């Protein structure tokens, strides 16, 4: 457990940030699920997935390369699905 005053403050700050990070991760998860269930060529589902992935990458939940890889995977999936 944190001992110093600054460590305690950093811990509290981390807990606050965790709430936002969890929400962003959940939004990305739901957008990807929507893309998996979407019909072939569904532009709205693709746009929602891209937006969620980009926001997650911007917030630091994943690296830029991971975001690019996931976007490519979603695009490929929607091009060939159903």
Q: Write out pLDDT tens, residues 21-50.
A: 999 999 999 999 999 998 888 899 999 999
Helix/strand/coil (H, E, C) string of the chain? CCCCHHHHHHHHHHHHHHHHHHHHHHHHHHHHHHHHHCCCCCHHHHHHHHHHHHHHHHCCCCCHHHHHHHHHHHHHHHHHCC
Compute the mean pLDDT over every residue in the chain, rounded to the nearest whole number: 93
| pLDDT of 81 | 59
Q: What is the pTM of this model?
A: 0.83
**pLDDT score of 82 more than 60:** no
Q: Do 24 and 55 form a contact (C-beta atoms < 8 A)?
A: yes
**pLDDT score of 53 more than 60:** yes
Residue range 43-70: average pLDDT?
Answer: 95
Nearest 5°: the CA angle 44, 18, 71 is: 30
């Amino acid at each position: 457990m944190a001992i110093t005053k600054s460590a305690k403050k950093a811990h509290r700050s981390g807990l606050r940030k965790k709430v936002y990070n969890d929400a962003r991760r959940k939004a990305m998860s739901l957008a990807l699920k929507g893309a998996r269930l979407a019909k072939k060529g569904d532009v709205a589902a693709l746009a929602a997935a891209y937006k969620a992935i980009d926001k997650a990458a911007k917030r630091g939940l994943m690296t830029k390369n991971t975001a690019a890889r996931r976007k490519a995977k979603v695009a490929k999936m929607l091009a060939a699905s159903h």
